[in-house]
Structure 1
Amino acid sequence: MKLAEADSTMQKTVEATQRAFNTIRTGRANASLLDKVQVEYYGTPTPLKSLANITTPDASTILIQPYDKSSLNIVEKAISLSDVGLTPSNDGSVIRLNIPPLTSDRRKELAKLAAKYAEEGRVGIRNIRRDAIDSIRKQEKNSEIAEDESRDQQDKLQKLTDKYTAKINELLAEKEKDISTV
């Protein structure tokens, strides 16, 4: 594994962690809360965002307007069955999700969930580093690169690892701040 490869893979890990953070609800309405919701549409699991227009008219409401009005009930059912934790209300043409204010216990739970996602991201980055170091050591053992070059590449790899771990920590701090803000 080359350094550029490791860099790119670590960047993707940070992006995946950011997407995971986006699914955690804070006290404000955010359309990305529904990113993981799948709707059984004509026998095929389909992401909700490809079946409906999702908007946030105010800080405590998410408005879902299905492109196909006949799918309104299955969209409502999919949201109810999902792990979003919100109860949809259907008025015949749109579905509204009211975001209740978070309790302090719920905020603590969400902060723990964010920390869990961050740790998964950091573990992913460390695994990429481990694979890259194994590859570098293998090249050194096979006399493809010199010992000095091997050590130099491992140092660069550690700096990359530190850089991306710091990015995940920044994202976590930002998300925890969002969660704790009333």
Structure 2
Amino acid sequence: MTTIATTKDAMAAARTRMEKAVEDFRKELATLRTGRANAAILDAIRVDYHGTPMPVNQLGTVTVPEATLLVIAPWDPSVVPLIDKAIRASDLGLNPTNDGKVVRVPMPAPTEERRKELVKHLHKILENHRTAVRNIRRDIKEAIDKLEKEKKISQDEQKRALEEMEKFTHTETKKIEDLSAAKEKEILEIR
């Protein structure tokens, strides 16, 4: 963590770290499976290519030709069975097919039970990111308190900085909760 010498530094550090937490939450949401095809769902899958774990999107082109189908066209056709195997081994519950040139991944509509599991998982991710934002707030609060204790800032300045920090924390937490609510609605939506 960078050295915090003023309340301005503290707020800048808080802003940067909290915005990263929100962005990370967005990325994790993209990997959650709904009934709709989304190339980001494959981001977490790694394929063992010549002894190196590689993301699927670095081995070929991933396209979404229709709402319930992903097509992966690898640049090296010898990797097709490896991609197929990696997708089957993942916990996404997908059943890809391949013709030796491309891998097709149909996206079945999740069952009611699977939807509930996904929502439960979504809530776990949400809570982890809420906790991350609260931890950032705690760290920055401690830094501001330390500045006041060392007489580098006044008590009034400390109070103003902590109030600004609270407002920003609420704003970022609200962003995460809104994203979560939208994703939950998408998951529970039956097409």
TM-score w.r.t. length of structure 1:
0.97
Which whole-Å CA distance do the structure 2 matches of 1:67 and 1:154 have between them? 53
Task: Give the one of 53, 64, 75 matched to 1:67.
Answer: 75
Which whole-Å CA distance do the structure 2 matches of 1:28 and 1:34 have between them? 13
1:26 is matched with: 34
Task: Give the one of 8, 11, 17 matched to 2:19.
Answer: 11
The letter for the 2-side match of 1:47 is P
SS at match of 2:62: strand
**Structure 1: gaps (5+ residues):** none
> Does residue 156 in structure 1 map to residue 164 in structure 2?
yes
1:92 is matched with: 100
The answer on whether the counterparts of 1:51 and 1:67 sit within 8 Å (CA) in structure 2 is yes
The letter for the 2-side match of 1:72 is V
SS at match of 1:71: helix
Percent same amino acid among aligned pairs? Answer: 43
**Structure 2: gaps (5+ residues):** 5-9
Which whole-Å CA distance do the structure 2 matches of 1:120 and 1:96 have between them? 33
> Does residue 53 in structure 1 map to residue 65 in structure 2?
no
2:7 is matched with: none
How big is each residue's C-alpha offset from its partner over 1:129-178, in whole Å with a ceiling of 9 and x where there is no partner? 00000000001111111111011100000001000000001001100111
Which whole-Å CA distance do the structure 2 matches of 1:173 and 1:77 have between them? 33
The answer on whether the counterparts of 1:34 and 1:84 sit within 8 Å (CA) in structure 2 is no
Task: Give the one of 19, 23, 43 matched to 2:51.
Answer: 43
Cα drift, residue 92 of structure 1: 1.4
Cα drift, residue 56 of structure 1: 1.0
> Does residue 147 in structure 1 map to residue 126 in structure 2?
no
1:117 is matched with: 125
1:83 is matched with: 91
Which whole-Å CA distance do the structure 2 matches of 1:98 and 1:43 have between them? 28
The letter for the 1-side match of 2:63 is T
- Considering only aligned residues, what root-mean-square deviation do their CA atoms show, in Å? 0.9
**How many aligned positions are there?**
182
SS at match of 2:138: helix
Cα drift, residue 74 of structure 1: 1.2
SS at match of 1:53: strand
